[in-house]
Each structure stands twice: as structure tokens, then as C-alpha cells.
């Protein structure tokens, strides 16, 4: 695996190295030792799949607050998504900044989302599926988010939003105080 540090402190785009032959290919998608060698949290306690019927579906921007702050490893297994991470760590040199990565079933990249980040994505194709590996168990009381179109951050989405949940629409504006 190739670990490329994103423009946000502690975040990475992880690209697989393929061993290909006439059968197809083989690649490693996760290795505890490699994550530890890059100073990343390798703990995985829960894995989830998010399937989206329609292009233009937006999910985000989500995070889990204390004491259940989590690291996420997000990968697109089918279709394509514009994946956005946002640094909400008040003590971080990249606090309040965001980056986007296009994840596809073809490129097989993953985004390592550090603890203290919000995460969301918009689908670029019908039938897009993403997988998540999380370092903490889901806790509904700690689940939270910020508005996907909060002017404080100016996230640029690639297309008009066609589908979004009422919960994602209900998040308040960010108030620039420490979440983590």
C-alpha cells in the first residue's frame, strides 16, 4: 500500500499496490503493521457498508463526539464518490480546513479519516457503495454532524444535491468552538 499524506494533518489517501496476472489482481487493503509504521491507529471494531441508489446523493458531514471519537477508513467498492474530510480539532494547524478525494471502485483508494474529523461524500454515479472500517463502536448519543453547506467551511460539492436525509439537513451552523 502507498500512504500519501493529505493536506490535512494526520489524514491519508491510501492507494493499493496491485499484483496482476492473467487471472486478475491481488492487493492488500489493510495491514495493522503498515498502519502502525505510518503512525496511524489500526484499531478496527466495526465495519459498515453504505449503498446509494442515485447519483447526487449526499451523506455528511458526520462525526462521533467524545468519548466515542473514531478513526475511519473509507473506501468506494462500487461506483464513484466525492469524499470530503474536515478537520475539527481546535489544536490542529489545519483546523477548519477540508479536502476532497475522488474514490472509485476502479481506483480502489481509501481515505484515512483521523479522530476529530467530520466526514461526508456525494455520489458521482448511480449504485455507489462505500465501506467503512471504524475504530470505535457506533454510539447514537455521540453521533453528530455539521451542515454539509455550512458557509463557515465553504465546501465545494461537484453537483446539485439530489438526495439527502432530513437529519443531514437539520445540523446547525458550526460555532467555531472546540468539538474535540
Whether 53 is a known active-site residue: answer no
Of 53, 62, 112, 171, catalytic: 62
Of 82, 121, 132, 171, catalytic: 132
**95 close to 159: Cβ distance less than 8 angstroms:** no
Task: Provide φ and ψ at 73, rounded to 5°.
Answer: -115, 115
First to last CA, the chain: 30
Task: Provide φ and ψ at 64, rounded to 5°.
Answer: -110, 130
Q: Edge-to-edge strands of the sheet including 128-134?
A: 2-5, 12-15, 110-113, 72-78, 128-134, 46-52
Whether 62 is a known active-site residue: answer yes
Q: How far is the CA of 102 from the CAs of 81, 90, 123, 144, in angstroms?
A: 6, 26, 10, 24
Catalytic residues: 62, 132
Amino acid at each position: 500500500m502507498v500512504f500519501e499524506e493529505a493536506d490535512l494533518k494526520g489524514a491519508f489517501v491510501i492507494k493499493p499496490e496491485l499484483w496482476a496476472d492473467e487471472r486478475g489482481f491481488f492487493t492488500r487493503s489493510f495491514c495493522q503493521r503498515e498502519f502502525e509504521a505510518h503512525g496511524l491507529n489500526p484499531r478496527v471494531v466495526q465495519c459498515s457498508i453504505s449503498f446509494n441508489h442515485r447519483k447526487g446523493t449526499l451523506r455528511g458531514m458526520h462525526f462521533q463526539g467524545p468519548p466515542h471519537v473514531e478513526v475511519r477508513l473509507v473506501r468506494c467498492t462500487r461506483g464513484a464518490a466525492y469524499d470530503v474530510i474536515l478537520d475539527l480539532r481546535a489544536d490542529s494547524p489545519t483546523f477548519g480546513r477540508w479536502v476532497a478525494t475522488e474514490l472509485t471502485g476502479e481506483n480502489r483508494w481509501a481515505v484515512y479519516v483521523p479522530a476529530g474529523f467530520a466526514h461526508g461524500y456525494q455520489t458521482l454515479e448511480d449504485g455507489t457503495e462505500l465501506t467503512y472500517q471504524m475504530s470505535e463502536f457506533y454510539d447514537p448519543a455521540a453521533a453528530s454532524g455539521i451542515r454539509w453547506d455550512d458557509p463557515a467551511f465553504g465546501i465545494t460539492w461537484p453537483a446539485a444535491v439530489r438526495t439527502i436525509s432530513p437529519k443531514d439537513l437539520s445540523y446547525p451552523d458550526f460555532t467555531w468552538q472546540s468539538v474535540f
